[in-house]
Amino acid sequence: MGRFDGATVLITGATGGLGSGAAKAFAAEGARLVLSDLDEAHLAISRQHSAPRPRSLPAMLPTRRSRRIW
């Protein structure tokens, strides 16, 4: 029995190093995963390699390229 059995965890940036590692760690502890990332192609690959299969949400966020957001 894992520490996160029955819990649902949303991981943003799921295809990056930290997000991918967090997904693996939470899954190992029994969490249901919802993965999100801007890169849909890598998100699909990450989803295929996760067990059990998580839900995935491509991030469709507006960006402001003309100015910095702090």
Of 28, 36, 26, 39, the closest CA to residue 56 belongs to 36
Mean pLDDT within 1-14 = 87
Residue type, 48: Q
Question: What pLDDT, on a 0 to 100 scale, did the predictor assign at position 3?
Answer: 92
Q: Where are the domains positioned within the chain? A: 9-58
Q: Is the pLDDT of residue 51 over 70?
A: no
- Cα separation, 6 vs 22, whole angstroms: 17
pLDDT tens digits, 9-46:
888 888 888 998 998 899 889 888 888 888 888 887 77
